[in-house]
Structure 1
Amino acid sequence: MKRHLHRRRSQILETSRRAHAELDALRSAERDPEFEEGAQNEHAQYTLTALTDVHRREIAAIDAALARMESGAYGVCLDCESEIDPKRLHALPYALRCADCATRLERGLVAETVGPTL
């Protein structure tokens, strides 16, 4: 699982690097008319910003999961302290909660008290 998390982290960083390179290429390319170029650049910047925010959150979640592995807390639900189903961890390796507690949280039945850092 640790290798999988490291691999996913590397993929995110590479995707982000490529997105920045594409945006730089769009900025340097000449297009006519100016309005079209401005709209394309604005759209590209918006897409990159959204992509970067999502990637930043996922990297933070991956780093937190790796830290939990090091501390021995990986795979333990933050709310009920039971073991998180290995199938859930396989699907979402940085899961903080078991499926039941995550469902309760999503439905607003419990208040989230712990962020994705540990």
Structure 2
Amino acid sequence: MGVSNLANEIEKRRTFAIISHPDAGKTTITEKLILLGNLIQVAGSVKGKKADKHATSDWMAMEQQRGISVTSSVMQFPYMDRVVNLLDTPGHEDFSEDTYRVLTAVDSALMIVDGAK
């Protein structure tokens, strides 16, 4: 791969993270973005055991059972002429170190704040 080709590949990638406090809707926003990016056909739900279809980014059994994100997950999809790398991070303070690590590797972050909490 030539230098100019590598530069073009780097230029077309966008990597961003979604961060928030617990239960602010981070995984719900992630599901909506990957639905709009045509990565999935039906958005999942963050409802714990009651859900028919769990959130795509909550892939661990513990995450699906409890309705929480325990690990960061990465989804990649094309959008227009770009490649989007979307990182969904855990919201709970016990997993904050994982969130800090993710923030060192992204171009930007979307922070979701629930004003009622």
Which structure has more relative contact order (CA 8 Å, sep 6+)? It is: 2
- Structure with more of its chain in strand, by fraction: 2
Q: TM-score, normalised by structure 2?
A: 0.26
Q: TM-score, normalised by structure 1?
A: 0.26
- Structure with more of its chain in helix, by fraction: 1
Please identify the structure whose Cα radius of gyration is greater: 1
